[in-house]
Copies of this chain bind each other. A is one copy, B any other.
Amino acid sequence: MRPSLLRVLDGEVISPPPVWLMRQAGRYLPEYQAVRADAGSFLDLCYCPEKAAEVTLQPVRRFDMDCAILFSDILVIPDALGQPVRFEAGQGPLLEPMSLDRVGALKRDNVLDHLAPVFETVRQVREELARGKALIGFCGAPWTVATYMIAGKGTPDQRPARVAALADPQGFQALIDVLVEASADYLVAQIEAGVDAVQIFDSWAGVLDDDLFARWAMAPVRALVAKVRGRCPQARIILFAKGCGARLATYAATSGADGFGIDWTMPLSLARKQTDKALQGNLDPLRLILGGEALARGVDAILADMAGHPHVFNLGHGIQPDTPPDHVAQLMRRVRDSGSR
């Protein structure tokens, strides 16, 4: 049976909608913590197929999620290109900041070899995952990955990359071109290894003005989607451009993606007026931390807003580490029971 996620991405309305949660495999789960404790660094875990497959499957087993999402990180791409990434406890990712004159030194030929363990993870997950459930692969959008490569970390508004893009458009284009190519190869290899759909995370597209958004967020995503579709015509692609809900009509019409993740600050009642395509989201992760009435009210509002529109239930941002797993179970019951209310 075709997984419900793919049917929704084809345009079908399913009630109750399929559910998965961004960062559903992660620190809030004790069984994840147990694997993580023995796994070395965070990237060691991403590159260990047995362990990465195990943590990918954990939330599906515990909560009967409709989809698994590959356990990995958007910054494996710079890591594969020869800009090493590390994760310190309690901080975000750290890289040696790269200036644009170093783009030529990136190791473009090494990407798929470096990421071979990820594709092995996909194969192992796909073997264990029920056929009716979708496995989602992913990558970061070129703009978002570039912001980390240039700043070396997350910053409040990714100013270093914005300045670089404004000050040296040619140099920035060279970096974006490398990222489009590497990301396309990476997504195609994930699809060939067995993922059913892919999501492109443009977590930092929302800090750009109109001109920069068109040039550095949307044009590269459009190129990436076109390259993936050129090699995998059946690919199902979700784009999550955080903080860009006001522009949804534009990029839904031009990006080439099949579905669109919406962050929790954009009303779905407004989003659905902008496109007939599938929408995914958008519960505030804080409601999942609080549980109870705050959670129930948030879930119900989303289901009401999206009735009759192709919809994948999700958070509007990743699960926070201090989320009680019981609240995720409460969310699943609330969504699943909605079909019979």
Interface residues of A (CB under 8 A from B): 156, 159, 162-163, 166-167, 206-213, 243-247, 264-270, 282-284, 286-287, 289-290, 294, 297-298, 301, 305, 316
Q: Are B270 and A316 in contact (CB under 8 A)?
A: no
Alpha-carbon distance between A298 and B162 when the two chains are bound, in angstroms: 14
Q: Are A166 and B286 in contact (CB under 8 A)?
A: yes
Chain B nearest CB from A161 CB (Å) reads: 10
Chain B residues with Cβ below 8 Å from A305 are 210
Specify the main secondary structure of chain A where it touches its partner: helix
Q: When A156-B156, A243-B265, A246-B267 are in contact, do A286 and B162 touch as well, CB less than 8 Å?
A: yes
Alpha-carbon distance between A265 and B210 when the two chains are bound, in angstroms: 7
24 A-B pairs with CB atoms under 8 Å apart are A156-B156, A162-B284, A162-B286, A166-B286, A166-B290, A167-B290, A167-B294, A207-B265, A209-B264, A209-B283, A209-B287, A209-B298, A210-B267, A210-B301, A211-B297, A211-B298, A211-B301, A213-B265, A243-B265, A246-B246, A246-B266, A246-B267, A246-B270, A247-B267
Chain B residues with Cβ below 8 Å from A264 are 209
Chain B residues with Cβ below 8 Å from A163 are 286, 289-290
The 9 closest A-B pairs by CB, nearest first: A246-B246, A210-B267, A209-B284, A166-B294, A245-B246, A209-B264, A166-B290, A162-B286, A246-B266
Chain B residues with Cβ below 8 Å from A268 are 210
Chain B residues with Cβ below 8 Å from A247 are 267, 270
Chain B residues with Cβ below 8 Å from A298 are 209, 211
Chain B residues with Cβ below 8 Å from A206 are 265
Q: When A243-B243, A294-B167 are in contact, do A269 and B162 touch as well, CB less than 8 Å?
A: no
Q: Are A209 and B265 in contact (CB under 8 A)?
A: yes
Chain B nearest CB from A2 CB (Å) reads: 32
Chain B nearest CB from A27 CB (Å) reads: 16
Chain B nearest CB from A302 CB (Å) reads: 9
Alpha-carbon distance between A284 and B284 when the two chains are bound, in angstroms: 28
Chain B residues with Cβ below 8 Å from A266 are 246
The chain B residue sitting closest to A266, CB to CB, is B246
Please give 17 more A-B residue pairs, beta carbons under 8 A apart, in addition to A163-B286, A208-B265, A247-B270: A156-B156, A163-B289, A163-B290, A166-B294, A167-B290, A206-B265, A209-B264, A209-B265, A209-B283, A209-B287, A209-B316, A211-B298, A212-B284, A213-B265, A246-B266, A246-B267, A246-B270
Residue in A207, A210, A213, A316 with the greatest tally of chain B CB atoms within 10 Å: A210
Chain B nearest CB from A153 CB (Å) reads: 13
The chain B residue sitting closest to A245, CB to CB, is B246
The chain B residue sitting closest to A268, CB to CB, is B210
Q: Are B269 and A210 in contact (CB under 8 A)?
A: yes
Residue in A156, A166, A264, A282 with the greatest tally of chain B CB atoms within 10 Å: A166
Chain B nearest CB from A162 CB (Å) reads: 5
Chain B residues with Cβ below 8 Å from A159 are 286
Chain B nearest CB from A191 CB (Å) reads: 32
Alpha-carbon distance between A243 and B264 when the two chains are bound, in angstroms: 12
Alpha-carbon distance between A327 and B19 when the two chains are bound, in angstroms: 50
